[in-house]
Structure 1
Amino acid sequence: MGSVVIPIPDGDHQEFTDLRKEKRFQVSLSPVISFVQKNKDIIRKIIHCIKVGIALVLVSLVYFVDSLYKEVGDDNAMWAIMTVVVIFEFHAGATLSKGFNRGIGTVLGGGLGCLAVILGQKVGGIGNPFIVGVSLFILGGAATYARLIPKIKKRHDYGAMIFILTFNLVSVSGLREDNVMEIARERLTMIVLGFAICICTNFLVFPIWASDELHNSMVSKFECLASSIEGCIEEYFRLVSEKENQSVQTVASNFRNCTSVLNSKAKDESLVNFAKWEPWHGKFGLSHPWEKYQKIGEILRELAGTILSLKGSLNSHKEPLQALRESIKEPCEAAGSSLASTLRELGESIMKMRRCQPEPCIVPKLKLARQELSQVISPLKLGKIDSAEGLAVACFVFTLMEVVEKLKDLAKEVEELGELAGFHQS
């Protein structure tokens, strides 16, 4: 039988060729995309290092260019490099915070230092060092006390330290130098130059926003706790024979996410502080309610601690207890699934910046879960067995009921966040 040749029109052939090229291009990029997704933190660290290198090269132009170096001088040029090294931080908000504090501390410290020098020179004689010494004692002590105030220490500790340092340097050097005002002006100019280079480099070259990291980490906490609840329910109702064959690492993995959430307080507080300094960018405006993220984080940590308290119940392997567990398995699994889905729903509303309305959907679901758990611990069911065994099961169920109550508070905070931040309606 002869072969049949089917002609392909030029247009279709060209389209077919383009599709093959596009598919081949997508396949070739897939390893790169996979690597980027798995190593986001490493890539961000590399970008930060590159940005620091760029800033150092730019500020070193003061030394590289002869005309600039002759104009500025070696002593003053060093202050620009020191400023870049000291205030260039990983997050854009942290760099702006440190730069602002350094600027304010330098201006106030330098200004008051010059004032102390002028006053001491007018008095003259032995009164000059006396005036400077008294000024150092009073203002240095006052600034040190201010650093101990929690609100000032949280946001302006670095600025207070720079104030003490600058005031000390300017006022003491004024005892030996006649042109202290000129020196202060030149060094302030170099500090401003270093600050400007840091801000331009950090904000314009692949900026790393603390607000984005805070937002994403907060969303991930909801998924972590939802997975932990599902894992605890599954582990609690696993057969005793299956538990004995299960490795300790698998059991511990159910609580690893809770532990990470529980230990996130310090990181959340620093990210909130840095996010407040950041300018408008992307989906976050100037008045975004970052304090609400901190409040939501506190409730999530309380919730993580409650879930961790289930660990004692999971370690029980008594065979007589297995029959009771089987009798309450269905309502507890239904309640656990409802709690996990509620957590994911709240996290999704934050991720998509969608207004959360607990009353129509979430609150009825939580009420139903509580009713199911209340029926589980009724005297009719727990009164049929030994009191110690009944207490162990009741402890597990009561802990789940406590999770329900905390989810109600969490839903309320997420709703308030949506209202204050102006999230769009669902």
Structure 2
Amino acid sequence: MELESGNQEKVGFFVLGFLWVKRFTKKFLSEMVEIAEHAKKIARDDPRKVIHSLKVGLALNLVSLLYYIQPLYRNFGENTMWAVMTVVVVFEFTIARDDPRKVIHSLKVGLALNLVSLLYYIQPLYRNFGENTMWAVMTVVVVFEFTVGATIGKGLNRGLATLVGGALGLGAYHLSSIAGKPGEPILIGILVFLQAGASTFIRFFPRVKARYDYGMLIFTLTFCLVSVSGFRSDDLFELARERLCTILIGASACVIVSIFVRPVWAGEDLHKLVALNLERLGNFLEGFAGEISNSTEAKEFENDVQFRVGVNGILDSKNREDILANLARWEPGHGQFMYRHPWKQYLKIGNLTRQCARRVESLNSYLIPKTQASENNDMIQVAFSNVSSESGKALKELALAIKTMILPSSPNPHITNMKIASGNLKSFLKSDFCEDTNLLQIMPVAAIASLLIEIVICVENIADAVNELASLANFKGRNSNGGGRNSSKRQCRIFDQLPEDEIPHVISINEPTLTRSQTI
């Protein structure tokens, strides 16, 4: 009986192992099929990317001839690697970067360069690393970015890519040495071509492009340098070790200086940008409510260039929000922003804000017509003004809640008033106000009413998203910060906290107080 139970246990173990291997194989094959389909889609959408990948591999093979041809290598020596590095860095599909330079950031870069320069000045350190010390200096120059998230992301990408690329480069060199001296450069050339082509093509994958593009670039560079340098170097392992150590020293200096010397956090910039866009949108809606009662001023409001610049700034902020959210994920917890802060929720709020901004942009193109029935016209003006004003106030209170990281009012009085005003507007539109009115005059009124109702829905969705953010990010209670309703009356002053080149053009409008009993 004991023997039979032991056999059953062995059979059960082998069955479980077989099932695990089967599941793993199935999952692996499905992943490979998905990657192949994605690669096929990229190649089909833009065949130039495939050709570009092959061109990078070809260019690396061409400059590698400086290593293989003895007279050329005798002239340039170890400086031949700069030709290889130039190909990897310069050979880009597109080159576009906007990097604002700040005085403090420039000083921080100078400080980091001075720290790694100690590797040259201190004799024992220079004796250990020799000429490879330049890799630490070069790492500081290319890794140090304006924000902490960008610096950490580039530093980790460079360190890991150097480690993996160096290890595979050593493996490629030892593999090619099996072919002997005549076949060694040929085999190295084939491996470099395959690796460079595959790595460059993988860089076009959206997820890889977003977070690991620089790492793939350094991986290609390191693999090529280590594998090709082995053709002329006697101690390739020591060369790879020294380069890895100096690169890690340079990256560490960048991260330390970036974090501890006047840090610039991408997460904070994203936080302020989302709050600022909400406040700007609230100002526009309140401005529309204030100018809606005077057709002449409304015309000026409609044609005001500053209004269009402000709305376009909101509509064009998606790319910047995506970049900041991507960089913020690299940053450690700091201040009120905990580790694994819900940065994706900011993107959701930003998308909803842009949807609302599109309605506001359309709303700005309409004027309130003068109908024959002055009393009805008066009621329309007041209804539109109430909806627009309460929507703007609700957005500004939500912006303040995000900026101060304090829970928004529950229930929000402005959202409640906005819903009431929207309901009154719907009831008024269902009445018989347009019986004796020209159809051409009714159409703009119906269009404005439809846009305002859509804006109300957008504001409600934004409020739900902000409440979700408050829950995920553990916003403080209103009572814990001396909040309350008085905090909703404070103006959101975010403009002076953003860089000068990002301060938007905002319309300043003296808003009159409108009531239902007013007449024009």
Asked if TM exceeds 0.5, the reply is: yes
Cα distance, 1:405 vs structure 2: 0.8
> Which of 439, 451, 455 is the aligned partner of 1:399?
451
Q: Deviations over 1:194-213 (max 9, x none)?
A: 11111111111111111111
Number of residues paired by the alignment?
378
Q: Which moved more, 1:94-103 or 1:346-355?
A: 346-355
The range that moved more, 228-237 or 282-291, is: 228-237
Alignment deviations for residues 136-186 of structure 1 (CA, whole Å, 9 cap, x no partner)? 233223222321111111110110111111111111111222211111111
Preserved CA contact (<8 Å) 1:358 1:411: no
Q: Which residue is 1:309 aligned to?
A: 362
Number of the residue aligned with 2:29: none
- Counterpart of 2:507 in structure 1 is none
**1:372 paired residue number:** 424
1:349 pairs with one of 378, 401, 404? 401
Structure 2 CA distance for aligned equivalents of residues 243 and 424 of structure 1: 40
Instruction: Choose the corresponding residue for 2:109, options 13, 32, 52.
Output: 52
2:282 maps to 1:230: no
What does 1:93-108 correspond to in 2, within 5 Å?
93-108=149-164
Shift of 1:408: 1.4
Q: CA deviation at 1:85?
A: 0.4
Deviates more, 1:254-263 or 1:61-70: 61-70
The Cα of 1:361 is off from its aligned counterpart by 4.9
Q: CA deviation at 1:243?
A: 5.5
What's the counterpart of residue 174 of structure 1? 230
Percent identity reads: 37
SS in 2 for 1:230: helix
Distance 2:373 2:265 in 1: 50
Distance 1:119-1:405 versus aligned 2 partners, 3 A rule: same
The answer as to whether partners of 1:321 and 1:389 remain within 8 angstroms in 2 is no
> Following superposition of structure 1 onto structure 2, how do residues 1-400 of structure 1 map, counting pairs within 5 Å?
45-74=102-131, 76-240=132-296, 242=297, 246=300, 251-314=304-367, 323=374, 325-356=377-408, 361=413, 364-400=416-452
**Residue identity in the other structure for 1:215:** H
Deviation at 1:284, TM superposition (A): 0.8
CA distance in structure 2 between the partners assigned to 1:177 and 1:390 by the alignment: 84
- 1:259–1:59 distance in 2 versus 1, CA, 3 Å: same
Unpaired segments ≥5 residues, structure 2: 1-99, 479-520
1:240-273 Cα distance to aligned partner (Å, 9 max, x none) = 3x567x5887x33334322211111111111101
Q: Distance in 2 between matches of 1:247 and 1:364?
A: 28
Q: Distance in 2 between matches of 1:321 and 1:177?
A: 92
> What CA distance in whole angstroms lies between the structure 2 residues aligned with 1:170 and 1:363?
63
* Alpha-carbon contact 2:196-2:220 (below 8 Å) kept: yes
Ranges in structure 1 where 5+ consecutive residues have no aligned partner: 1-42
Contact 1:59 1:197 in 2 (8 A): yes
Contact 2:301 2:307 (8 Å CA) reproduced = no
Flag the 1:320–1:361 CA change in 2: closer, same or farther, 3 A: closer
Say if 1:362 and 1:233 are closer, same or farther in 2 by CA, change over 3 A: closer
1:57 to partner: Cα distance: 1.6
C-alpha separation between the residues in 1 aligned to 2:167 and 2:446? 68
Amino acid at match of 1:55: A
| CA distance 1:96–1:288, change in 2 (3 Å) | same
Judge conservation of contact 2:115–2:253 (CA < 8 Å) in 1: yes
TM-score, normalization: structure 1?
0.82
Q: Secondary structure at the match of 2:432?
A: helix
Deviations 1:70-114 (A, max 9, x none): 43223x121111100001000011100011111111111111001
Q: Check conservation: 2:345, 2:469, Cα contact below 8 A.
A: yes
> Which residue in 2 is equivalent to 1:32?
none
Given that 2:151 and 2:255 are in contact with CA atoms closer than 8 Å, whether structure 1 keeps it comes out as yes
Q: Deviations over 1:362-418 (max 9, x none)?
A: 653342132122134335123331111100111111111110011111111111111
Worse-superposed segment, 351-360 or 126-135:
351-360
More helix by share: 1
**What's the offset of the Cα at 1:58?**
1.6
Aligned-residue offset at 1:322: 10
Quote how far apart the aligned CAs of 1:117 are: 0.4
Residues 296 and 410, structure 1, Cα contact 8 Å, conserved in 2? yes
Letter in 1 for 2:113: L
Matches of 2:411 and 2:298, distance apart in 1 = 40
Taking structure 2 as the reference length, what is the TM-score of the superposition? 0.68
Is the CA contact (8 Å cut-off) linking 1:366 and 1:408 kept in structure 2?
no
Amino acid at match of 1:115: G
For the residues of structure 1 that align with 2:292 and 2:385, how far apart are their CA atoms?
A: 10
For residues 145 and 415 of structure 1, do their structure 2 counterparts lie closer, same or farther at Cα, with a shift above 3 Å needed?
same
In the aligned structure 2, how far is the partner of 1:402 from the partner of 1:382?
Answer: 22
Letter in 1 for 2:439: S
Amino acid at match of 2:441: E
1:26 is matched with which residue? Answer: none
Determine helix, strand or coil for the equivalent of 2:469.
helix
Counterpart-to-counterpart distance in 1, 2:470 and 2:221: 44
Q: Which moved more, 1:296-305 or 1:375-384?
A: 375-384
Letter in 1 for 2:130: G
* SS of structure 1 residue aligned to 2:181: coil
